[in-house]
Structure 1
Amino acid sequence: MHALLSRLRGAPDCLLCLAASDTPYAICSACERELPWLGAHCSICALPLSASGLVCGECLRRPPSFSRVEVPWRYAFPLDGLITRFKHQARWPMGRLLADLLARHLQHAHEEGLPRPDLLLPVPLSRARLRERSFNQAEMLADWLATSLALPQQRHWLQRPHDTAHQQDLDAAARKRNLRRAFALNDRAEVRGKHLALVDDVLTTGATAEALARLLLKAGAARVDVYCLARTPKPGEH
């Protein structure tokens, strides 16, 4: 009876279990509860930790250029599959679902005191990577977030003019070396004095976010935050 009523009022099907959803989103409440919610984490980079309200050792030793990472989930099953299908198989409804849930998370964070940014900046792809994939998942996420949060976004301010090795194939030190001079700022970008939020799908070591935040602060930005879907734990931890 519940499934029938849900279909009559136009509720979407859950993208995980395929049953009629009992929420406004394309996910049922049971499957939503099973997502790997972040829990206790570093108050700066969102690295999963054993207790809340702490700053991780890496952020204490070397504070990052970004002010805060805001993220709802750990990169783990079944969320990892949703992101992979969105990112590598162009399953856009899955991306839209995740963007809607991220927007809800961010709205709550803003209501709880997280400063709203002046605008959103998607993490750019190189031209070669964009040709290979045909779309930039960060741009799509930023588009959906901009609509849901009533925030402007600028998809062309950040550029990645040089092809680099795939970040997922590298360790933390190699990721940092790989990103030296990888990014550039469009000549028309007006970042001075602005609070900016980078948008991406997954934060792993934070090397990409650090490189972009440093570039933006050097150009005069007042603050840089990072909004993403998922944060990876340390290797060997779950």
Structure 2
Amino acid sequence: MRCQPSHFKKVYQWLKSQHPCLLCDSTSHRLLALCEDCEAELPWLREHCSQCALPLPKQQALCADCTHNPPLFSKVITPLQFAFPVDTLISRFKYQQNWPYGQLLSALLIQHLSYYFDEGGQRPDLILAVPLAKRRQRQRGYNQAQMVCDWLAKALQLPNPQQLVLRTRETVSQQGLSAKARRDNLHNAFQITQPEQVKDKHVVLVDDVLTTGTTCSIISGLLVKHGAARVEVYCLARTGKPQTVQM
């Protein structure tokens, strides 16, 4: 007597699987653990700056910051604004080890990127996570940006070399610092360990949330200095103006 169910039965059960929605706990008959009603109510990023993805009240090419002091990355790609309930999901993923929330938001980003590529968006050559300070990683036990990067790399079949970008020194938290103080805080804080891997490559940096973009801009400048042809940023969500951020 066979205890192992047939392949047909496995596939049938998978097709009939029901997931509780992670937001409202109702049954979702989809592969995503998110029902259609909750998906429709998410704070999708609509009008935004074409470079840094800052949410804007109306369509325009660039925000004021990117017009007068453009970041060193070419483009930010993200589907969501950092607003309720996305802010809560990211906080629980980031600080409370609730991996399913991070996986759900990463799945939404993967869907967004797949559509972007289908519409002619340029696929990158490799994908890298923004490194976390060693002290914070020891306290937290993981780097949430690296987890998102791993999920994206697997789904999009992109190289994801580890330890290519390192933090070389501890820095204070960026929260509450002015733009200049943020830049000063991160001066000489990163290192590219194998520059030959980024030369002439389209590189993507992955983070959970983009706030001011200072960290990603500094790392992008370092990658470009070592020969990267283009640097973009993928993130789960984009904040509004820094003064409105609650996290």
| TM-score, shorter chain, exceeding 0.5 | yes
What's the CA shift string for 1:65-114, capped at 9, x where partnerless? 11100011111100000000000001001111111110000111111122
The answer to whether the 8 Å contact 1:22/1:29 transfers is no
The answer to whether the 8 Å contact 1:127/1:161 transfers is no
The aligned counterpart of 2:35 is 28
- Rounded to whole Å, the distance in 2 between the matches of 1:8 and 1:231 is 34
Offset of residue 151 of structure 1: 1.2
- Rounded to whole Å, the distance in 2 between the matches of 1:35 and 1:129 is 30
Q: Residue 167 of structure 1 aligns to a residue in which SS?
A: coil
Give the TM-score normalised by the residue count of structure 2. 0.90
Say how many residue pairs are matched: 233
Give the TM-score normalised by the residue count of structure 1. 0.93
Offset of residue 172 of structure 1: 2.6
Q: Does 1:154 align with 2:161?
A: yes
Q: Does 1:106 align with 2:105?
A: no
Task: Spell out structure 1 runs of 4+ moving beyond 6 A.
Answer: none
The two structures, once aligned, show a CA RMSD in angstroms of: 1.8
Give the aligned residue type for 1:182: A
The aligned counterpart of 2:222 is 215
The aligned counterpart of 2:5 is none
Offset of residue 173 of structure 1: 2.6
The answer to whether the 8 Å contact 2:168/2:188 transfers is no
- Rounded to whole Å, the distance in 2 between the matches of 1:45 and 1:8 is 39
Q: Does 1:185 align with 2:192?
A: yes
In structure 2, list runs of 5 or more residues that go unmatched: 1-12
- Rounded to whole Å, the distance in 2 between the matches of 1:95 and 1:130 is 17
Larger radius of gyration: 2
**Aligned partner of 2:90 among 74, 80, 83:** 83
Offset of residue 176 of structure 1: 1.5
What's the CA shift string for 1:208-237, capped at 9, x where partnerless? 010100000000000000000111111466
- Rounded to whole Å, the distance in 2 between the matches of 1:205 and 1:197 is 17
Offset of residue 8 of structure 1: 8.4
